[in-house]
Amino acid sequence: MPVIRALSKVAKQALLAPACGCQPLTVAIRNISFSPRQVTSASDASFHSVSFSETDHPKVLITGGLGQLGVGLAKLLRKRFGKNNVILSDIRKPPSNVFHSGPFIYSDILDYKNLREIVVNNRITWLVHYSALLSAVGEANVALARAVNITGLHNILDIAAEHGLRLFVPSTIGAFGPTSPRNPTPDLCVQRPRTIYGVSKVHAELMGEYYHHRYGLDFRCLRYPGIISADSQPGGGTTDYAVQIFHDAVKTGKFECNLKPDTRLPMMYIDDCLRATLEVMEAPLETLSMRTYNINAMSFTPEELANEVQKQLPDLQVSYEIDSVRQAIADSWPMNFDDTNARNDWGWKHDYDLPELVQTMLNYIGSESRIAQAN
Ligand SMILES: NC(=O)c1ccc[n+]([C@@H]2O[C@H](COP(=O)([O-])OP(=O)(O)OC[C@H]3O[C@@H](n4cnc5c(N)ncnc54)[C@H](O)[C@@H]3O)[C@@H](O)[C@H]2O)c1
């Protein structure tokens, strides 16, 4: 086992090195075993990768795939690359329609060996890392958020580097904080978020970019705005109100908003978000001048959204019962995103503005509710 002996020696030297850091650490290892933490260069990373030419279809694994975004992304990617080339995974039991719509597998991102087995056995070439605890849920369980969003990410980065995968990790408007410029927020500026969610996402951006420069990892990251979808429920974020209003408007005609009426946040319809994800994953290397991009579509307040919904459902009654935790989070986030770099580099363009968003959501939820009533 000469490799392990050599690594043990390097690790020992690193541990014994003076705190000044004069002896640079040359391997990405947290423990010594035969693991991706041994990857030492870009060429090592590609040595482990399966042969994958641009003409082949990628073989995609989506982690945390049963949340608000994963099922929709799997549908889009399966349409493009074939049903069996996209594997959804999560730690939860899938509903039967999801289970029967294509490959599904159990994967806990905290279990490194399980991840490696899936990647190897299925010859995965692209990894879309959606597992996370979102902002409001993260504040309610900081220890778990730290484990899933930070320790889990380390496993993902190591797996991706070891097997030469193209890796997508979403970031968020929550990666900015009260000292960031808020209207608009550019790609590069001060990032001092005040939530564990935001801190973990800044960590993910920086670690992904570090692995890109250090090991040649093909890391790609988009900062999503709040995402609005009709057929999947949000997972405990601060922008959830902008989904709930549609359900309540159709079902009860009343909506109680947990943010103040003038709280402005960037938002996006799910179809735009998923298409952006596919487009940045397919973008030729030479078009990417950065590894982490803002993407933007629209920006509105609860009051503006309610007014737009009331154009279609004039009887909707809206009241405000402020949730202080969510309000404090929202007040520290961008009001508007500057996504000029995404538009210039790889041609990002959104399709949905506020009126189209409201019409689409009401059509979808309205028809679902009519079907439910008929049954
Ligand atoms: N939805 C949004 O508005 C939004 C906005 C910005 C960024 N994002 C990012 O997009 C990604 C997907 O978001 P979402 O809204 O679908 O999230 P979600 O909360 O709806 O789903 C996250 C999924 O992760 C899974 N998960 C939790 N712990 C896990 C573990 N140990 N191993 C494997 N899976 C685990 C959960 O079971 C859940 O299905 C997240 O990384 C999120 O930060 C989402």
Continuous segment of H or E residues that includes residue 105:
strand 104-106
Query: What are the pLDDT digits (tens) for 287-308?
Result: 999 999 999 999 999 999 999 9
Query: What are the pLDDT digits (tens) for 17-56?
Result: 333 333 333 334 333 333 455 554 444 444 444 444 445 7
Please give the Cα distance from 36 to 158 (Å, whole number).
5
Please give the Cα distance from 149 to 202 (Å, whole number).
11
Structure tokens at 311: 């154009």
Secondary structure (3-state) at 261: coil
186 lies in some domain: yes
Lining ligand 1 with CB less than 6 A are 63-64, 66-70, 90-92, 107-110, 130-132, 134, 148, 152, 170, 172, 224, 226-227, 234-235, 237, 239
| pLDDT confidence tier of residue 2, bands split at 50, 70 and 90 | very low
Place of tokens 């993407």: 295
Looking at residue 5, its pLDDT comes to 41
Secondary structure (3-state) at 307: helix
Please give the Cα distance from 262 to 291 (Å, whole number).
33
187 lies in some domain: yes
6 lies in some domain: no
Please give the Cα distance from 276 to 342 (Å, whole number).
10
With beta carbons less than 8 A apart as the criterion, state whether 305 and 280 touch: no
Residue 375 has pLDDT above 80, yes or no: no
Overall average pLDDT of the 70-89 stretch: 98
Please give the Cα distance from 52 to 210 (Å, whole number).
24
244 lies in some domain: no
Looking at residue 22, its pLDDT comes to 33
Give the number of the atom of ligand 1 that is nearest the alpha carbon of residue 227: 3
Q: Tell me the CA–centroid distance for residue 247 and ligand 1, in Å.
A: 21
252 lies in some domain: no
Looking at residue 79, its pLDDT comes to 98
Q: Tell me the CA–centroid distance for residue 320 and ligand 1, in Å.
A: 27
Cα–Cα distances (Å) from 7 to 33, 155, 159, 346, in that order, read 9, 19, 18, 40
| pLDDT confidence tier of residue 185, bands split at 50, 70 and 90 | very high
Looking at residue 234, its pLDDT comes to 86
Cα–Cα distances (Å) from 146 to 28, 118, 122, 371, in that order, read 20, 24, 29, 41
Q: Tell me the CA–centroid distance for residue 369 and ligand 1, in Å.
A: 26
> Which residue among 62, 63, 66, 68 is best mutated to probe the pocket of ligand 1, counting the most ligand atoms within 8 A of its Cβ?
68
Please give the Cα distance from 173 to 177 (Å, whole number).
9
Overall average pLDDT of the 114-134 stretch: 98
Is 197 in the active site? Answer: yes
Please give the Cα distance from 251 to 293 (Å, whole number).
37
Pick the catalytic residue: 197, 211, 215, 241?
A: 197
The CATH number linked to 222 is 3.40.50.720
Please give the Cα distance from 144 to 149 (Å, whole number).
8
Percent of the chain at pLDDT exceeding 90: 81
Ligand 1, atom 23, residue with closest C-alpha: 64
Q: Amino acid letter at 130?
A: Y
Adjacent-strand bridge partners of 228: 269
Helix, strand, coil share of the chain (percent; to 5) = 45, 15, 40
Q: Where are the alpha helices (DSSP H) in the chain?
A: 2-16, 42-48, 70-81, 96-99, 112-121, 135-140, 142-146, 152-162, 196-215, 241-251, 270-282, 302-312, 324-331, 340-346, 354-374
| Average pLDDT along the chain | 88
| Number of domain units in the chain | 1
Looking at residue 55, its pLDDT comes to 52
306 lies in some domain: no
Residue 374 has pLDDT above 70, yes or no: yes
Query: What are the pLDDT digits (tens) for 134-177?
Result: 999 999 999 999 999 999 999 999 999 999 999 999 999 999 99
With beta carbons less than 8 A apart as the criterion, state whether 172 and 224 touch: yes
Please give the Cα distance from 255 to 263 (Å, whole number).
16
Q: Amino acid letter at 274?
A: L
Percent of the chain at pLDDT exceeding 70: 85
340 lies in some domain: yes
Give the number of the atom of ligand 1 that is nearest the alpha carbon of residue 197: 43
Query: What are the pLDDT digits (tens) for 3-12?
Result: 344 434 433 4
Query: What are the pLDDT digits (tens) for 339-353?
Result: 999 999 999 999 999
Domain holding 167, by residue range, is: 39-227+268-298+336-353
Counting every residue written for the chain, the total comes to: 375
With beta carbons less than 8 A apart as the criterion, state whether 65 and 190 touch: no
Q: Tell me the CA–centroid distance for residue 239 and ligand 1, in Å.
A: 14
Place of tokens 């190897």: 120
Please give the Cα distance from 25 to 28 (Å, whole number).
8
Looking at residue 373, its pLDDT comes to 74
246 lies in some domain: no
